[in-house]
Structure formats: structure tokens, C-alpha cells
Amino acid sequence: MTEAIDLGTANEFIPRHIGPREADTANMLEQLGYDSLDALIASVIPESIKGSSVLELSAGLSEADALAKIKAIAVKNQQFSTHIGQGYYGTHTPSPILRNLLENPAWYTAYTPYQPEISQGRLEALLNFQTLISDLSGLPITNASLLDEATAAAEAMTFCKRLSKNKASNAFFASQHCHPQTLDVLRTRAEPLGIEVVIGDEREITDASAYFGALLQYPASNGDIFDYRELVERFHAAKALVAVAADLLALTLLTPPGEFGADVALGSAQRFGVPLGFGGPHAAYFATRDAFKRDMPGRLVGVSVDRFGKPALRLAMQTREQHIRREKATSNICTAQVLLANIASMYAVYHGPQGLTRIAKRVHQLTAILAQGLAKLGLVVEQQSFFDTLSLATGSKTAALHAKARTLGINLREIDGERLGLSLDETTNQAAVERLWQVFAEPGQSPDFAELAATVASQLPQALLRQSAILTHPVFNRYHSETELMRYLRKLADKDLALDRSMIPLGSCTMKLNAASEMIPVTWAEFGNLHPFAPAEQSQGYTQLTTELEAMLCAATGYDGMSLQPNAGSQGEYAGLLAIRAYHRSRGDDQRDICLIPQSAHGTNPATASMAGMRVVVTACDARGNVDIDDLRAKAEEHKERLAALMITYPSTHGVFEEGIREICQIVHDNGGQVYIDGANMNAMVGLCAPGQFGGDVSHLNLHKTFCIPHGGGGPGVGPIGVKAHLIPFLPGHEKMARKEGAVSAAPFGSASILPITWMYITMMGGQGLKRASQLAILNANYIARRLEEHYPVLYTGSNSLVAHECILDLRPLKETSGISVDDVAKRLIDFGFHAPTMSFPVAGTLMIEPTESESKEELDRFCDAMIAIRAEIHAVERGELDPEDNPLKHAPHTAAELVGEWTHGYSREQAVYPVASLIEAKYWPPVGRVDNVFGDRNLVCACPSIEAYQEA
């Protein structure tokens, strides 16, 4: 042997995750005038916060070793046969959906469809979701998902508050038949707003006028199906609005809420093919009447037209959203649950109306057989009518029955000491029913399944049987073979640009690699098959995973405690402000309710502050884009007595490490406030500096940005919060956790089943790899800024002329000289095969570019070349060589259909679609031309239009 071979498992992951090769890194550094990465970073990070990093993580593991390690954790989760129900049910994820959608980067690496021309595929899938929800709920206006059923119920409460004509009341009625976790989140969300939640039995309401709104559950959490028609009329007579949390599978057989007068229907789409996942992520739905469409929380897809008058989809009515309306927004929700909504929508596409109804009837029939058998065994089934859930009065035998069930590998619902519950689902079969009987039977006793099956009748209430048809649209009736579904999913994915095709340089969104090894554990049954309320001893794997992950994230941020419960950044902000609020109150500082927010803040910040019952005071930014410290100090002192918090993003939303951050934090602390550091830009900091060490009291992280959870086309996300020790007692609690109060999500660990992604990322990168990722993210951003600054001014830099991990290009001057807008440039990038950078945030008329560390130098250069070529076209417009109206920018993006039609433009076809030669061998063709923003809002259609509408156009 001549050569020494390393016999350990090489960790190749770090250079797999990081785009630039060693030689590229050296080359880029040279162009920036630095001789090492350390030297560059030393210039970028301000003196005042240097050395604040506390990252002490072990060395990274190889992909194989990390997968083996997480497998050993996963197998500690025990998969029982689970009949707990309570909003979470077993389901079969159809294999073609698992493989071609859930595990397919074309679907999971896409961004929120804000650029409609490159998002028609997922917009269509979401429109199918909205059509599904609209059909099943009987209400015409639906959104493209909310975070979970409990937060959707909380949104419904504030929705009713805004819209109810009973302005005298401050009380919201919530039925005791709602799922307990829903009631908990309602209580959390009501308190800071001064809303009184009255929980009671709706059958005993005497004075409906005491309430501005009400929440009912259908079927009820315990399994009963109540006829709410008369009650809804009474609420309406008292000018109160009614929201109904409804089970989608039951709605295939029952009269939908929209038909018995409900103003809102909401719930979870989990049981439409989305694994239990220990509580999430799952898509919640929200539907309402047409009159209330402008108050809808979340995003909704609408039908508009493109430049040629052809139907094209687009996110509608964005003027309601937090990025426009800020503290007056209808909701703070930003990232939603798009991937999960798409799974649910495809589940309905695949099964179709007959398939769904068949599943529902089967579940109901099995439940009816189960009930009969239980009665034969002498048990008291409490329901007269039910769909899939029964509650049993088991009295003093309850605890023993649970124990016996567990010895048989079965989980039942623990209602209270005297009663237990059981729910069936799509995965239940005859054997499962017989096993359930065994739990309650004496030895030798067993009802005869076949005999009962032959005689049992439907136990759905006759008066509430569904009469209206569902899912008549062709999309739900044509893809029922696997071949057809596979091709439909491929067809839709091919319409879109996701990370599997090109860089997505969206500033503030951190569209980095979502490595395959990180994704693989997500669909393991050991993580997928756990009910969030399964007994703790069965979820030891999750306990280890979450405990380790909390410690890793504390190490990365310099905080002392971490909560993984919030299921998006917006929810983390909310949980963080609640912690601050509770802290002040614990010290008798009840009056502290002012939240300072710099004007450059992300829209979720002010929207969240108002949800947390705080008053927003906006502070100015100076000419260099930094927080105007004098203005901040003046406002902090002016509101000294009532100052609750500052919400500040770091590095700033302007892409700069502000030097004054320590001083800013000090000013707020000196005036009695707490510092909330929005951690969306953590990708510039991990391993370099730590918010918990330079003045932050609490931060949220976006695991779907910095920590590799894919964006999913607009969710799922995870928005954990890190806090300093004094705020630990005020982290979100849960009925299933040590601290019971203050739940912000339905499940104790929110979107638990995607936490393995972040665990894998940190485990494979280790402390050194994470630090290198931040360094490369900064290098890549500065390289782009340097290459483009002579073509487009870089709006803000630090005192050393460097940016952090993103840079803002100022296009406003071009509007003056050429008439070309930021929109035109964004759309022209599509012709070059790129997703646009972030547009007009945080400054109107600008583009914010964030390359991330995962993009190679080649890809950065390809992007820069496109931007430079576009600048040359703008020059041509400025010089009169291209017509100010008829030019490739104004007409971008160009479709293939346009190319083969009559060519009427003053520029060539080649310039339109092959502006650089490299596109000839790999070209992305947008399926529609530029989408009309206004048309779709004026003519809101948010369910699938008829096929004729497409044919006419």
C-alpha cells in the first residue's frame, strides 16, 4: 500500500450543502479584496457584537451516520393502534401523492406563489383545495390554508369580532363540545384583546345577545351530532355570527355548515392524506360567506387573466394582508400550510366524490358496528347519532380499561376519569374493530362482526343527511388512475419554478438547500404515525429529538430556553410578545403595552403586536437605512412608563449589520422594555454572533429559512422562540405539558414531524459547518453586490461598504430614466429562467437579493449575467433603441404560445426568449403571460371555474 486511506466515515456534507468550491471562494474573496473568509467576516460584523457567539456544537456527522443516529431516535417512538381522535385521525397517504408530491422537490422547494407566472401549478393545486373546501363546507369563499384548527378557530373569533353587528358585546361563546386544544388556544388569543371567552353547553343558551359570536363543533368532539339550525337562527337574530369547526370527512355525508346558516366554517384537512406526525404540520381551512371576503385571514387564490386575456391564477386581495395593512391587517399569518393543503387537495382529486363518500360511509358503518358490539358487551354508548366517534360511560373501570387497551397496543381517548372516547378512521378495518371489542370483553366474549354488519343501520341523523352534491368539477373526476394522477402532478410541477430548477434569490426568505438526507426521516412511519396526545411513554423518540433540538438552537442563538410550539414565524412573534407581556404583568407592570417597531419592519411585526394587545409606535430609519437611534431614544423615553417592547430585525431588513444594535437594546432596557429580535435573518449570524448575547430577550427563528425546512410553496414552517432565562416561565404551555396555559398551537410541539429536518441539518453541519454556512452566505451576498453595483446601485451597506447576507438594489432611478419598473425586471428574469428577488420590501421600488450559501459561484454568475443583460436592455430603452412600451421588459414573460403566433413586436423572437445563448439548451417556459393584478381582485373567483370559462378564453 502506497497511499494512506482514512477509514472513518468522511463528512462530505458540509461541502455538499455549501455551493462554492474552495477555488471559487478564494476567487470571490479576491474580487472583494480580502485574503480570507475570516478577514471578510471581521469587516462585516460590527466591533460591538464580535465574539458574542456561543456556538458550542460537536463536529458534524456524515449523512450516513446522521441518518443512523436519527433512526435510533425514531425507533423509540411506539406505533400503537390509535383511536384518540380529537381532531387527528389515521389516514392513508396515497403512495403516488407521497412519492410525486410530498417527497418531490419540485413541490416542496417552491416558494409562496407571489410570482404567479411561475406558480400556476401550485396555484391550481391550491384552487382545487379551495374548491374542495367550498364544496364540503357549503360556503363560497375559502382561503388556501391556515396553520391548524385551533388557530383557525382563534382567527374566526377575531373575524366575528370585526364583522359582528352586535358591537355592545365583548363575549365570545365557545361550545364545551369543541376540541379542548381549540378552547385552550382561544383562551390564549382572547385574553390580550380583552375578549371574554364563555365556554358552555350551547343547548342551555338563553340569551344569545350576550355574544358577538359563537364557535360550535360539528360533529362534536365527543362524537355527538347536534342539529344547530335553530341555534344559528337565534344567534343571527341577536346579530351574532356563528363559526362552526367541522370535520371534512363527515361533511361528505352531513348537511354542511353553509347550508345551516354558519357564517364561518373551519377545521383541519389532516385526515385527507396527511400523516398524524405527532400533531403537524397539517393544513387548516377557513371558509366564509361572500359578504365577508375582504376580511378573510390568510391567503386566497383567485382567478384572473393574463396579458392575452387567458385565465391565469394569482393570490387575490393582498391588500388585506399584513405586508400592506400592518397593524391593521386582518391577521398576522404569513407562511401557511401550502404543501399540506396540496396533499389534501390531491387526496380529493385522486379519490373523487364517490371515493371520499365511500371512505366516509365505511368509517361510519364500522363505527356503527363497533357501537352495536359495545352495547352487546354491556357498555353505555353516550351517542344517539354519531359519525366516527363514540364516548363511553365507563365509570370506575376507566383507568383499568386504558391500561388493558395499552397492553393490546391500543390508545383510547382519555376524556375524564369516568369516560373514554374512541374514534375510527380510514385505516380502521374489521380486525381493528374486533380488537377494540376485546378491550371491553370478558375472556371468551366476542360480538359477531358479520352478524352485526348485516343488520346495522346508519346512525347519522336523518334530518342532517347531506342532499347537495360534492366535487362535481371535472378536476375531481378525471385523475382516478395512478397513471393519470402521476401525470397531473408532473404537469402542474412542470409549470412552476422551484429550487430544483434555479436559484430563488428572495431576500429575507433564505431559499437554501433542503438536503435529501434532511428530508428522508420526515416520511418515516416512526415520526408520521404518532398522535400528538399519545401517552408520553410512547413518544420517547420525539422527546429526545425535541430536547436535543432545543439545546442545539439555544447554542446557535445564545438563549437559555426554547419553545418549538409556534408553527410559523408569525406565531413565534406572537408567542414571544405574549412572553414579554406576561413577564411585565408578573412584575405588576400591567400598563406596559407600547411596542416600538422601526418603519423597515416586516409586516408581521406590527400585525402581531396588535394581536398581542400592544399599541404600535413606529420609529424612523436614517438615510443609511439604520434605525434612527435618536428617534428611538426619544420615543423610548417618551413612553418610558408604558414601554413593553422593541421589535427589531437583525441584521436589519435592509441587509446590514447595524453597529448600534447593542446601544439600541440598552436604550430599550433602560426604559423598562424588553427586546424582541426578529430572527428571520439568522442565516447571517449562526456561529458568528448571537442575539441572546448582544441584547435580545427573545427571538423567533424561521426553521423554514435558516434551518433548512423547505418552503413547501408557502408552508409548512416552524417558528420556535428562544428566550433569556427570565422569560422561560412564560413560554407557551399546553394541556399536555408542564405549563398548562398559554398554548399558541393545537399540538404541544406544533409542526413536530418536520423537526427532524433541522435536527439533521445541525447534526451534519456541526458547529464549524454552521459557522462556515453563515460566512459563505455573507460572501455570496457581497459577491453579488460587488458584481452588480456598477449596474444597479446597492441601496444600503455598512460603514465598510459591505452588506450582510442580502443586498437591496435600487431600481427607482430607472423608472425615471426608462419607465421600466421593478415589476418589469422581475418578470423579465422569468425569461432568463429565474424567480425574481423580493420586490419592494422593505423599500418600494427595490429588489432584495439573498443568494444563501448553497448557491454555487456558477449559479451566482448566471444570475448576475441575467441582471446585467437586463440592465443593457434598460439602457437600450433609455437610449431610444428599444421602444418605451414595446420592449422585452414590458412584455415579459414571453410564452411559447406567443412565439408561434403572429409576432408583432419591434424586437426579435430570439431576444424575447433566448436573451442569452445558454438558455437554448435548458429553457423554462412560463405557461401564462403577465398576470393582471387588478382584474382578479375586481372579479373575485376563488373556486375552480368551469371548463367552459377556459374554453371561451
Ligand X SMILES: *Cc1c(COP(=O)(O)O)cnc(C)c1O
From CA 685, how far away is CA 44, in angstroms rounded? 11
Residues 83, 408 contacting (CB under 8 angstroms): no
Closest separation in Å from C-beta 335 to ligand X: 3
Number of residues engaging ligand X in binding (CB under 6 A): 15
Among 153, 243, 312, 334, binds ligand X (CB under 6 A): 334
DSSP 905-935: -SS-HHHHH-SSGGGGTS----SS-PBPHHH
Tell me the window of 120-128, 566-574, 584-592, 895-903 that interacts with ligand X (CB under 6 A): 566-574
If the CB atoms of residues 528 and 717 are measured against ligand X, the closer one turns out to be 717
- Per rule CB under 6 A, is residue 567 in the interface with ligand X? no
Among 149, 202, 224, 678, binds ligand X (CB under 6 A): 678
Cβ burial 229-243 (10 Å sphere, 16+ → b, else e): eebbebbeebbbbbb
| Cell numbers given for 112 | 409562496
Q: Residue 584, class by beta-carbon neighbours within 10 Å (0-12 exposed, 13-18 middle, 19+ buried)?
A: buried
Closest separation in Å from C-beta 767 to ligand X: 25
If the CB atoms of residues 53 and 653 are measured against ligand X, the closer one turns out to be 653
If the CB atoms of residues 606 and 766 are measured against ligand X, the closer one turns out to be 606
Tell me the window of 3-11, 152-160, 214-222, 563-571 that interacts with ligand X (CB under 6 A): 563-571
Q: What is the sign of the dihedral through the CA atoms of 260, 263, 267 and 271?
A: positive
Q: Cα angle at 333 between 331 and 335, to 5 degrees?
A: 165
Among 213, 256, 311, 717, binds ligand X (CB under 6 A): 717
Closest separation in Å from C-beta 784 to ligand X: 19
If the CB atoms of residues 388 and 806 are measured against ligand X, the closer one turns out to be 806
Among 604, 610, 626, 758, binds ligand X (CB under 6 A): 604
- Phi and psi (nearest 5°) for 338? -60, -45
Angle of helix 822-831 versus helix 857-878 axis, rounded to 10: 120
- Per rule CB under 6 A, is residue 335 in the interface with ligand X? yes
Closest separation in Å from C-beta 761 to ligand X: 17
Interacting residues with ligand X between 113 and 172 (CB under 6 A): none
- Per rule CB under 6 A, is residue 569 in the interface with ligand X? yes
If the CB atoms of residues 260 and 749 are measured against ligand X, the closer one turns out to be 749
Tell me the window of 394-402, 562-570, 878-886, 930-938 that interacts with ligand X (CB under 6 A): 562-570
- Phi and psi (nearest 5°) for 257? -50, -40
- Per rule CB under 6 A, is residue 329 in the interface with ligand X? no
Closest separation in Å from C-beta 658 to ligand X: 14
Among 100, 164, 570, 619, binds ligand X (CB under 6 A): 570
If the CB atoms of residues 557 and 604 are measured against ligand X, the closer one turns out to be 604
Closest separation in Å from C-beta 323 to ligand X: 10
Closest separation in Å from C-beta 675 to ligand X: 15
- Per rule CB under 6 A, is residue 838 in the interface with ligand X? no
| Cell numbers given for 881 | 433603441
- Residue whose CB is nearest to ligand X in the complex, by number: 569
Counted residue by residue, the chain has a size of 953
- Per rule CB under 6 A, is residue 602 in the interface with ligand X? yes
Interacting residues with ligand X between 470 and 529 (CB under 6 A): 508
For 184, 672, 714, 715, the CA distances from 745, given in Å and listed in that order, are 9, 29, 18, 15
- Per rule CB under 6 A, is residue 760 in the interface with ligand X? no
Residues 83, 392 contacting (CB under 8 angstroms): no
Nearest to 680 by CA among 551, 500, 850: 850
From CA 317, how far away is CA 464, in angstroms rounded? 35
Residues 370, 390 contacting (CB under 8 angstroms): yes
| Cell numbers given for 882 | 428599444
| Cell numbers given for 131 | 374548491
Give 16's strand partners.
Answer: none
Collect contacts of 604-607 with beta carbons under 8 A, ≥24 apart: 604/322, 604/332, 604/334, 604/569, 604/570, 604/573, 605/573, 605/647, 605/649, 605/678, 606/322, 606/326, 606/327, 606/329, 607/322, 607/325, 607/326, 607/327, 607/329, 607/331, 607/332, 607/570
Among 279, 461, 558, 719, binds ligand X (CB under 6 A): 719
From CA 714, how far away is CA 250, in angstroms rounded? 27
If the CB atoms of residues 143 and 702 are measured against ligand X, the closer one turns out to be 702
Closest separation in Å from C-beta 775 to ligand X: 21
Tell me the window of 46-54, 564-572, 744-752, 754-762 that interacts with ligand X (CB under 6 A): 564-572
* Contact characters 275-314, ligand X, x per CB under 6 A: ----------------------------------------
If the CB atoms of residues 619 and 653 are measured against ligand X, the closer one turns out to be 653
Nearest to 521 by CA among 750, 717, 757: 757
Tell me the window of 26-34, 157-165, 270-278, 568-576 that interacts with ligand X (CB under 6 A): 568-576
- Find how far residue 541's CA is from the centre of its chain: 24
| Cell numbers given for 565 | 410550539
- Per rule CB under 6 A, is residue 175 in the interface with ligand X? no
Closest separation in Å from C-beta 698 to ligand X: 14
- In terms of DSSP bridges, do strands 141-142 and 241-246 run parallel, antiparallel, or are they unpaired? unpaired
Residue type, 330: T
- In terms of DSSP bridges, do strands 594-598 and 643-649 run parallel, antiparallel, or are they unpaired? parallel
Residue type, 152: A
Closest separation in Å from C-beta 334 to ligand X: 3
Tell me the window of 67-75, 531-539, 567-575, 770-778 that interacts with ligand X (CB under 6 A): 567-575
If the CB atoms of residues 604 and 774 are measured against ligand X, the closer one turns out to be 604
- Per rule CB under 6 A, is residue 568 in the interface with ligand X? yes
If the CB atoms of residues 184 and 850 are measured against ligand X, the closer one turns out to be 850
Name 109's Cβ contacts closer than 8 Å, sequence gap at least 6.
Answer: 498, 499, 500, 511, 514, 710, 711
- Per rule CB under 6 A, is residue 702 in the interface with ligand X? yes
3 state SS of 504: coil
Closest separation in Å from C-beta 835 to ligand X: 16
Closest separation in Å from C-beta 838 to ligand X: 9
Closest separation in Å from C-beta 332 to ligand X: 8
Among 372, 423, 649, 852, binds ligand X (CB under 6 A): 649
- Per rule CB under 6 A, is residue 653 in the interface with ligand X? yes
Q: Cα angle at 356 between 495 and 343, to 5 degrees?
A: 35
Among 40, 680, 760, 784, binds ligand X (CB under 6 A): 680
Nearest to 225 by CA among 362, 344, 364: 364
Interacting residues with ligand X between 901 and 940 (CB under 6 A): none
If the CB atoms of residues 265 and 701 are measured against ligand X, the closer one turns out to be 701
If the CB atoms of residues 522 and 568 are measured against ligand X, the closer one turns out to be 568
If the CB atoms of residues 300 and 943 are measured against ligand X, the closer one turns out to be 300
| Cell numbers given for 530 | 404518532
If the CB atoms of residues 94 and 719 are measured against ligand X, the closer one turns out to be 719
- Per rule CB under 6 A, is residue 837 in the interface with ligand X? no
If the CB atoms of residues 223 and 625 are measured against ligand X, the closer one turns out to be 625
Residue type, 648: I
If the CB atoms of residues 163 and 509 are measured against ligand X, the closer one turns out to be 509
If the CB atoms of residues 538 and 653 are measured against ligand X, the closer one turns out to be 653
Interface with ligand X (CB under 6 A): 334-335, 508, 568-570, 602, 604, 649, 653, 678, 680, 702, 717, 719
